[in-house]
Chain A
């Protein structure tokens, strides 16, 4: 028995700030003081509060050390582990009470309103050791399914739970399974979509990194339910840690007889292969993903036939996303009613969001469906930093839309988000403040879709390109009011006619910003200004004559000689010459130069 457990995050966020070196240093230091039999160092998955990484939690006290560096390790060992004195300066301030005691992480604003179902093992177990997963009831659901239940019962439980696909569309998972189970074939496939291409979203990656076995177990359950013996996980190659841990997990599951032949002695056979993506966003679309696994250009194909009839290699196939699978084993163990007791009428359970952008607590949060955006941003997320004002929250990535402050109190679920012109998407939630230009953001997403459009259908290939050109024109100050109407029409045309989900949702960022931030578009078109000061062509730099000391520094920095004025006299920028590089504003020691 160890008397202390030191949990250190080994997820991508924390390893990017050197948590692996901290783990190494910790192990060395512990050995150096002879505590290796008393203290156990555990490399876990993501704790969620990525903004404070690298994170270390020391049990039994439950001390949450944030932004730890390699240099802090010795102090933690000497003070905390040897002498039992908590290193207060490293504690996350919200875990310290007024009386200077340490309080549980679950009482902090970030964790209090969260409910961890899909993420329950992330940051708790070592994902590279199967025994730790088994100790958390891992593979019990698979055992129960194989030994006590008929495939039809499994599908019924999933249907009753109300679980809907967490990858974006929100299709009922149980129905999907039922359709595939009803089709007879010599071979069927179970696929896992781990091609999380939505920029700024990292829920699936964190689950794969922190709890890879849950996905394997759920896929095997799905295989039993629909009558498939082969699974494929299609994972982004950009996630090397997730790929590595999946490989380890598959090997260990084989070794324990939990994958392969005759699982639990029931005669059920199931195997899983990994397939790596190669950087194509469209491959997150189900038919494109299957074409890609088959080894071709990842172009989508028309539906029907749906994958449940004719999917991978022409056989009946189900495809679910990582987070969807992460819910399955617990639904089997705890029952459909337990799962359906969380969430709203039509959206059951919880949803994981990756909070990012202009928010204090960047990280991973899991909330019951129906939590309001206000709770997520202000309470869990800690609000907007630097005293700035909230402008919009973007959900659904390039397929979603921007939610303005007026909808702050809307309960988050699939149908509500669609009704306000956004969508759940896979779970990216990017917060934007007053410094973000909404036209520029729409342009950013359109650049993404133009780049990622596979080119197969014309509405998407040409339509998104034309949209981008119009947006570009507007950000350059050359747009007309007629362009806005034309743009809106084109958006609806693309939505109605594109072949796959990528094209059908590509106009959403434009439509939702037009809907809620039309005044910003109009400012670009009519007044030729960018209210947020982002669009370079429309930004003008001004020198405040009262603050300017006439030090001449800006005039010397200006690469085009656009600043005039004599020593100790206020300077002036010649707007005709100015190329808006901002060098003057950076150089000014008196903050006399502002942009408008």
Chain B
């Protein structure tokens, strides 16, 4: 899986660092602690820039390349920051056969970004996800925690309008 590295400078705060240190402390010595720590680190920072991965590596006494290896392996670990509004279009099979690709294409066209990209103003990020399980509403997309179902490409403009 291809992963993009962030070109934005890292801007973590001391509070975030303290929070992360506490998480590391809590899991240290546990079997298989790396992934739970990375998941919580992503909750704290919103993504996992290399600086955060280095902190985790130091804290858990694991080589940083191993942390990096794990972060690039799993699609949920983000190396780039997400937008204020995170748009996920489901490309699971049920949604795909009901026209999800056209919905994704339309959003791409409207926002001028492809999947796994963020608009330059940091407002929207777009991703194609695998089955969120709301197959009864196919095709489906989510914007942050809001779910939009039974979509057609023409709905896209009105929905995006709410967030602009």
Interface of A toward B, CB cutoff 8 Å: 12-13, 16-17, 50-53, 197-202, 205, 237-239, 275-281, 292-299, 313, 354, 356-358, 362-363, 394, 397, 428, 430, 432, 436, 441, 444-445, 448, 451-452, 454
Do residues A278 and B74 form an inter-chain contact, with CB atoms below 8 A?
Answer: yes
B1-15: which have CB < 8 Å to A?
A: 1
Do residues B94 and A356 form an inter-chain contact, with CB atoms below 8 A?
Answer: yes
Q: For the complex, is B26 an interface residue (Cβ under 8 Å from A)? A: no
Of chain A, the residue at the smallest CB distance from B67 is A295
Q: Kindly list chain A residues whose C-beta atoms are within 8 Å of the C-beta of B147.
A: 16-17
Do residues B39 and A454 form an inter-chain contact, with CB atoms below 8 A?
Answer: no
Of chain B, the residue at the smallest CB distance from A242 is B133
Q: Kindly list chain B residues whose C-beta atoms are within 8 Å of the C-beta of A356.
A: 93-94, 135-136, 138
In Å, the complex CA distance between A279 and B136 comes to: 22
Q: For the complex, is B77 an interface residue (Cβ under 8 Å from A)? A: yes
Partner of A293, one of B32, B93, B136, B138: B32
A200 with B135: in contact, given A279-B75, A295-B70 (CB under 8 Å)? Answer: yes
Q: Kindly list chain B residues whose C-beta atoms are within 8 Å of the C-beta of A201.
A: 131
Do residues A279 and B76 form an inter-chain contact, with CB atoms below 8 A?
Answer: yes
Partner of B94, one of A53, A205, A362: A362
Q: Kindly list chain B residues whose C-beta atoms are within 8 Å of the C-beta of A16.
A: 132, 134, 137, 140, 147, 149
Do residues B97 and A358 form an inter-chain contact, with CB atoms below 8 A?
Answer: yes
Partner of A297, one of B70, B94, B137: B70
Q: Kindly list chain B residues whose C-beta atoms are within 8 Å of the C-beta of A428.
A: 93
Instruction: List the 8 shortest-distance A-B pairs measured between CB atoms, nearest first.
Output: A50-B136, A199-B92, A356-B94, A278-B74, A295-B34, A200-B93, A279-B75, A295-B32
26 contacts between A and B (CB under 8 A): A12-B133, A13-B133, A13-B134, A16-B149, A198-B131, A201-B131, A202-B131, A202-B135, A237-B76, A238-B132, A238-B133, A278-B38, A278-B77, A279-B75, A280-B73, A296-B34, A296-B70, A297-B70, A298-B74, A313-B31, A356-B93, A356-B94, A356-B135, A394-B93, A444-B96, A451-B1
In Å, the complex CA distance between A156 and B164 comes to: 62
Q: Kindly list chain B residues whose C-beta atoms are within 8 Å of the C-beta of A276.
A: 35-36, 39
Q: For the complex, is B91 an interface residue (Cβ under 8 Å from A)? A: yes
Q: For the complex, is B110 an interface residue (Cβ under 8 Å from A)? A: no
In Å, the complex CA distance between A13 and B95 comes to: 13
Partner of B97, one of A13, A202, A297, A432: A432
Do residues A297 and B133 form an inter-chain contact, with CB atoms below 8 A?
Answer: no
Of chain B, the residue at the smallest CB distance from A204 is B133
Do residues A430 and B69 form an inter-chain contact, with CB atoms below 8 A?
Answer: no
Do residues A17 and B149 form an inter-chain contact, with CB atoms below 8 A?
Answer: yes
Q: A200-B135, A238-B76, A363-B136 are in contact. List 17 more A-B contacts (CB 8 A).
A: A13-B137, A16-B140, A50-B135, A53-B136, A202-B133, A238-B133, A275-B32, A277-B76, A278-B77, A279-B75, A279-B130, A295-B32, A296-B66, A356-B93, A357-B94, A362-B136, A451-B1
Q: Closest CB-CB distance, A206 to chain B, in whole Å?
A: 8
Q: Mark B23-35, 1 if CB is under 8 A from A, else 0.
A: 0000000011111
Q: Kindly list chain A residues whose C-beta atoms are within 8 Å of the C-beta of B135.
A: 13, 50, 200, 202, 354, 356, 362
Number of A-B contacts (CB under 8 A): 132
Partner of B76, one of A278, A296, A363, A454: A278
Q: Closest CB-CB distance, A451 to chain B, in whole Å?
A: 6
Do residues A357 and B32 form an inter-chain contact, with CB atoms below 8 A?
Answer: no
A200 with B94: in contact, given A279-B74, A279-B76, A294-B31 (CB under 8 Å)? Answer: yes
Best-buried of B70, B76, B97 by chain A (most CB within 10 Å): B97
B86-134: which have CB < 8 Å to A?
A: 91-98, 129-134
Q: Kindly list chain A residues whose C-beta atoms are within 8 Å of the C-beta of B66.
A: 296
In Å, the complex CA distance between A239 and B149 comes to: 17
A292 with B35: in contact, given A200-B94, A278-B74, A430-B97 (CB under 8 Å)? Answer: yes
Best-buried of A52, A53, A295, A354 by chain B (most CB within 10 Å): A295
Do residues A430 and B94 form an inter-chain contact, with CB atoms below 8 A?
Answer: yes
In Å, the complex CA distance between A238 and B98 comes to: 21
Interface size grouping (class) on chain B: 35 or more
In Å, the complex CA distance between A362 and B66 comes to: 42
Partner of B39, one of A52, A202, A278, A452: A278
Q: Kindly list chain A residues whose C-beta atoms are within 8 Å of the C-beta of B34.
A: 295-296
Q: Kindly list chain B residues whose C-beta atoms are within 8 Å of the C-beta of A296.
A: 34, 66, 69-70
Do residues B97 and A205 form an inter-chain contact, with CB atoms below 8 A?
Answer: no
Partner of B75, one of A278, A362, A363, A436: A278
Of chain A, the residue at the smallest CB distance from B93 is A200
Partner of B92, one of A200, A441, A451: A200
Of chain B, the residue at the smallest CB distance from A209 is B133
Partner of A362, one of B32, B35, B93, B138: B138
Do residues A297 and B134 form an inter-chain contact, with CB atoms below 8 A?
Answer: no
Do residues A357 and B133 form an inter-chain contact, with CB atoms below 8 A?
Answer: no
In Å, the complex CA distance between A200 and B129 comes to: 12
Q: Mark B56-73, 1 if CB is under 8 A from A, else 0.
A: 000000000010011001
In Å, the complex CA distance between A317 and B3 comes to: 33
In Å, the complex CA distance between A354 and B138 comes to: 13
In Å, the complex CA distance between A454 and B75 comes to: 11
Q: Kindly list chain A residues whose C-beta atoms are within 8 Å of the C-beta of B129.
A: 238
Q: Closest CB-CB distance, B9 to chain A, in whole Å?
A: 26
Q: Kindly list chain A residues whose C-beta atoms are within 8 Å of the C-beta of B149.
A: 16-17
Q: Kindly list chain A residues whose C-beta atoms are within 8 Å of the C-beta of B39.
A: 237, 276, 278
In Å, the complex CA distance between A445 and B96 comes to: 11
Q: Kindly list chain A residues whose C-beta atoms are within 8 Å of the C-beta of B77.
A: 278
Do residues B133 and A205 form an inter-chain contact, with CB atoms below 8 A?
Answer: yes
Q: Kindly list chain A residues whose C-beta atoms are within 8 Å of the C-beta of B131.
A: 198-202, 238
In Å, the complex CA distance between A237 and B75 comes to: 11
In Å, the complex CA distance between A295 and B76 comes to: 15
In Å, the complex CA distance between A293 and B92 comes to: 25
Do residues A358 and B98 form an inter-chain contact, with CB atoms below 8 A?
Answer: yes
Q: Closest CB-CB distance, B37 to chain A, in whole Å?
A: 9
Q: Kindly list chain A residues whose C-beta atoms are within 8 Å of the C-beta of B32.
A: 275, 293-295
In Å, the complex CA distance between A278 and B137 comes to: 24
Of chain A, the residue at the smallest CB distance from B132 is A238
Q: Kindly list chain A residues whose C-beta atoms are within 8 Å of the C-beta of B76.
A: 237-238, 277-279
Do residues B138 and A281 form an inter-chain contact, with CB atoms below 8 A?
Answer: no
Best-buried of A17, A394, A454 by chain B (most CB within 10 Å): A17
In Å, the complex CA distance between A313 and B132 comes to: 31
Best-buried of B76, B130, B133 by chain A (most CB within 10 Å): B133
Of chain B, the residue at the smallest CB distance from A447 is B91
In Å, the complex CA distance between A53 and B133 comes to: 13
Do residues A298 and B73 form an inter-chain contact, with CB atoms below 8 A?
Answer: yes
Q: Closest CB-CB distance, A363 to chain B, in whole Å?
A: 6
In Å, the complex CA distance between A475 and B75 comes to: 28
